Amino acid sequence: MAHEPAELSYADLPADVERVLSTLIGAGHEAVLVGGAVRDHLLGLPHGTWDWDAATSASPDEVAALFSDSSWENRFGTVTVRGVLPVEITSFRAEGGYRDARRPDEVRFGVSLEEDLGRRDFTINAIAWVPIDLAARRGHLVDPTGGVADLRRRTLRTVGDPRARFGEDALRLVRAARLAARFALSLDPDTESAVRELAPTVAGVSGERIRDELSRILGIQDTPSRGLVMLERLGLLAVILPEVAALRGIPQAKLVPGDALDHTFAAVDAVPPDAPGDTRLAALLHDVGKATTLADGHFIGHEEVGAQLARAVLDRLRVARSRVERIVAVIEHHMYAYEPEWTDAAVRRFIRRLDGVDRQLLFALRRADDRASGVAEEGERYQRELERRIAAELEQQPELLIGRRLAIDGHDLQAELGLPPGPAVGALLDRLMEAVLDDPSRNERAGLLDLARQVSGER
């Protein structure tokens, strides 16, 4: 990490960002970079991970008028300029009153840069880069709250009184855990004390805002569990995810030491960044049923209980319905036990049982679960074999296994056997499907009708 410089250069400043700054400056306004783009540059992080935020003395109306490819997002003066890289521009502002513990009651534009930085959450986010020579990518820092020194000390500290900052928006408590984990920072003692004291107030934050912050924690590249451990240590996990926090102290007979919560954190870490979307979220919730199903050293039915609890959690977090259904389904089915001795018919039945389940998400979750359980090598060998056999069956029997088509349907049974509509027809079709799964060559009209007559006669 660089020491505090008199000047700071952005050798790789993107053209879209330069256009925004030069347009504002050319119109006679102050324009600076703020927030993550400055913080991450000082930390030496690659700029491909940065969010590009600018601040300006121009009013939101003036900003919007300067950029035809922009939209004014909210009453807080945020204008987004769309390009190859979107740039969010906020007007210098002061804020007052937070009766809903989220949004300021009053927003006042036209203040100085120093006043604007003074309203921000953490000192490491309250550093501005002021261009000196844009063409040369040269500029200097404005750091009224000591954010550069805090970065050097690897410390996370609020701007001003932490209780006041967290009282303005309780989501900042969760954000403190995320930033500390992501950048390997220690919390300033007064800041940490305030987080612990005010942790219960996070219960009043909307589910969708918690969801978005949790997604950022799960998005930490190498070890997202750092953020989850920090949430637990600060007393926040029990407030936002009590179902997960309840796994602490639940014993497990795993090759890897630790309780059910340790295993959960390890499973989240075992999910590679390129895994299917929602795998880390599924890993976080995959064992929540264990807290209530432990009996005689076993967790009978924990996957079914866990699926129900996961649904409640995801609904509380306002996760989209389609995502909820995908995640809940894989949690419900993640305890499948494949053996190489399975017959081809058993593989076909397994495929049918997973009808409607996202197999790629399920298999990614199972791999993470196996790694966290200490059986990665054996589990991976069995998993590859199962996937190979599934692919072979799907290639040979696509109509049966994907299209779910028998050579006859319920109308045929009613016409040929004189059956009335009703449950008996469905039960008979199920019997025929079982026979075809045993021997796909039997999926032809005449033979199935003969079998249907036989079964119907037995009844």
| Helix 423-438 and helix 410-417, axial crossing angle in degrees, nearest 10 | 110
Q: Cα separation of 269 and 266, whole Å?
A: 5
Which long-range contacts (C-beta less than 8 Å, at least 24 apart) are formed by 104-109? Answer: 104/76, 104/168, 107/75, 107/76, 107/77, 109/59, 109/60, 109/77
pLDDT-based confidence at residue 418 (cuts at 50, 70, 90): confident
Q: How far is CA 364 from the centre of its chain?
A: 15
Does position 5 have pLDDT exceeding 50, yes or no?
no
- What percentage of the chain has pLDDT greater than the value 90? 62
Task: Specify the 3-state DSSP secondary structure of 274.
Answer: coil
> CB–CB of 131/21 below 8 Å?
yes
Per-residue pLDDT tens digits for 229-257: 999 999 999 999 999 999 999 998 888 88
Does position 95 have pLDDT exceeding 80, yes or no?
no
Q: Which two tokens stand for residue 165?
A: 């900052």
| Helix 302-316 and helix 321-333, axial crossing angle in degrees, nearest 10 | 160
DSSP conformation class of 247: T
CA angle 89, 90, 96 (to 5 degrees): 165
Specify the pLDDT at position 3.
44
Q: Which residues pair with 109 in a beta bridge?
A: 93
Specify the pLDDT at position 100.
53
Specify the range with the lowest mean pLDDT, choosing from 33-42, 49-58, 445-454.
49-58
Per-residue pLDDT tens digits for 325-342: 999 999 999 999 888 999
Q: Which amino acid would we find at residue 231?
A: L
Section 430-439 average pLDDT: 89
Section 186-207 average pLDDT: 97
pLDDT-based confidence at residue 355 (cuts at 50, 70, 90): confident
Of 217, 126, 130, 225, nearest in space to 176 by CA: 217
Does position 83 have pLDDT exceeding 80, yes or no?
no
> CB–CB of 210/202 below 8 Å?
yes
> What is the pTM (predicted TM-score) of this model?
0.86
Specify the pLDDT at position 102.
54
CATH 3.30.460.10 fits 8-152, yes or no: yes
CATH 3.40.250.10 fits 154-240, yes or no: no
Of 34, 51, 20, nearest in space to 116 by CA: 34
DSSP conformation class of 381: H
Section 66-90 average pLDDT: 79
